[in-house]
Structure formats: C-alpha cells, structure tokens
Amino acid sequence: MSWDQEYRTLTAAIREAGAEALRLATDGFQIYTKPDDSPVTSADHAVNDILKDRLLGHFPHDGWLSEETPDTEARLAAPRVWVIDPIDGTKAFIRREPEYCISVALVEGTQPVLAAILNPSTGELYTAIRGQGLQLNGAAAPRQRLETGQQPTVALSPWELHVGRFKSLEPHMASRPMRSIAWALALAARGTIHGVITFEPENEWDVAAGALLLEEAGGSARDGAGQPLQYNRPLPRFKGFIATAQGFPDRLASQVRQLSTSSN
C-alpha cells in the first residue's frame, strides 16, 4: 500500500506547525500546569490545533490520539489513527533548548506505517514510510555507525540516573540526558546515539514515530519487559521502553534486559 498522499500532507503540516512553534518561541507564549503538575504551553496547543486541522481535514475518517487532546474511545474503532505529541520536550522548549520536537505517527491496525519527527530549532525533519527506510529532509538519511569496541551512548532520564537505576550499566556506556524521548529516538535512528532506555511509563505518543524511524534504520524498540510494541490500545501507555540502534553491543543489550526484568 502507498502512503504517499499521507506523507505529503504530514510533511507540509508538520513544517507549518514547526514554523508556528518557532514564532511563539520568539514572540512569547503562555505556560500552564497540567493536573499531573507537568508544564504545557500555548505553543503545544497551537501545534496540536494545526496538525489536527490539516491531518483530519484531509483524512476525516481517521482516529486521533494526542497528548493535548482529550482521549475518546472513538479512536479504537478507527482502522487508522494519528498519534501525536505536539511538543515532546516541553521543558526544553520553555528553556529555549534545541532538544524539543514535534512527533507524529500514522498507526494502521496496531503498528505505525508513517512517521515524522521535526526539530524546529535545527530544521531537521526525520521521516519514514514502513519498508522504505529513514529519510532526513526528504533524502536518504546518512547514518553514523557504532565502531567495534566503541562505547555506546545511551539517552537516559536525568531522574533515573540520579536515583542510580542504571548504575550497573554505567561503566559500559556513556549516558546522555534525555530531554525528549522522541528526539532521542530520532538521534538513535541517525546513529548519533545508540540507545534510549527508561523503565518509567511512556505514552504511545512519546514513542510511536521514533520507534518506526529507528526500525527503518535497522534498530529495535520494545517495551520495558522486552515485548513487541502495539499501538492504539485502550490504555495507550507502555511500562518502560528499550530502544537500541543497529550494532548495539549484544552483551550490553542482555544486561539491559536483565536489569529490566529485575525492576518489574
């Protein structure tokens, strides 16, 4: 099946949304606090509105799952669902750090078939259509490969690092603070880093697009128990997330799985 029309619509919409995020970053935005005490901004809402208008405007029968839209059971009956994180890394956006991104995936059945992650600060747009490889700004993405004997760099949450959750792994890898899991997955797909690991709950919108990018670059993404990922579930959340780029050391991957098992 071809998703060319969806791809063109998505890339145009995410570029438009990214331009608006940049404008608001310059001109100013409002900051609010969600019931779970996490921050959200008027930019998150503006990006969400643009994407919803453009994507559902072209494909009105598709379902919708977004961090910034109240969820309904209607999406469960839809054969296709757009899974959106309008701004992943809102804290980074607030601080004007170039570590935030817009993440969009089209899920058909239980799997993503189309994905896009845009970092508005850098202008990098990573996209993938299932089975067609990873692209950067419309061309085949150059990849950096992990050299034999090179210590892998893994994105980890600052909180999990602080409490020592990965202490047994730290001698075998370099850690990178994870401000946005979606952007970390894009970097792993490119090969700039080599893994993304958390044993904290992650929502489908956090990882759906990035997981497809990584898989199209030869990597692997699983939940915290090492099980395959399935999307558009009634509770759209995974208990942990383990993603590794192509060439990630087998021995370290085994250590991660063992640590994951002991933490669940």
Write the CATH number of the domain with boundaries 4-140: 3.30.540.10
- State yes or no: pLDDT of 76 exceeds 70: yes
The average confidence (pLDDT) of the chain is 94
- State yes or no: pLDDT of 83 exceeds 90: yes
- State yes or no: pLDDT of 16 exceeds 90: yes
Q: Which helix (H) or strand (E) holds 220?
A: strand 220-223
Q: Distance from first CA to last CA of the chain, Å, rounded?
A: 39
Cα dihedral sign for 56, 62, 65, 71? positive
- State yes or no: pLDDT of 2 exceeds 90: no
CATH of 153-263, one of 3.40.190.80, 3.20.20.140, 3.60.40.10, 3.30.230.70: 3.40.190.80
pLDDT interval class at 163 (50, 70, 90)? very high
pLDDT one-digit tens code per residue, 205-237: 999 999 999 999 999 999 998 899 999 999 999
The pLDDT assigned to 113 comes to 98
The pLDDT assigned to 104 comes to 98
pLDDT one-digit tens code per residue, 129-152: 999 999 999 999 988 887 777 899
- Beta strands 80-88 and 195-203 are unpaired
- State yes or no: pLDDT of 110 exceeds 80: yes
- State yes or no: pLDDT of 21 exceeds 70: yes
Instruction: Report yes or no: 87 and 100 within 8 Å, Cβ to Cβ.
Output: yes
Q: Could you give the 3-state DSSP secondary structure of residue 136?
A: strand
Interior/surface letters 189-207, b for 16+ CB within 10 angstroms, e for the rest: bbbebbbbbbbeebbbbbb
CA 132, distance to chain mean position in Å, is 19
Q: Could you give the 3-state DSSP secondary structure of residue 224?
A: coil
Length of the chain: 264
Average pLDDT over residues 85-89: 97
Q: Could you give the 3-state DSSP secondary structure of residue 111?
A: strand
The pLDDT assigned to 1 comes to 67
C-alpha angle 33-35-36 in degrees, rounded to nearest 5:
95
Q: Could you give the 3-state DSSP secondary structure of residue 22?
A: helix
pLDDT interval class at 173 (50, 70, 90)? very high
- State yes or no: pLDDT of 32 exceeds 70: yes
Domain locations along the chain: 4-140, 153-263
User: Beta strands of 122-218 (E only): which ranges?
Assistant: 124-129, 134-136, 139-140, 153-156, 174-177, 195-203
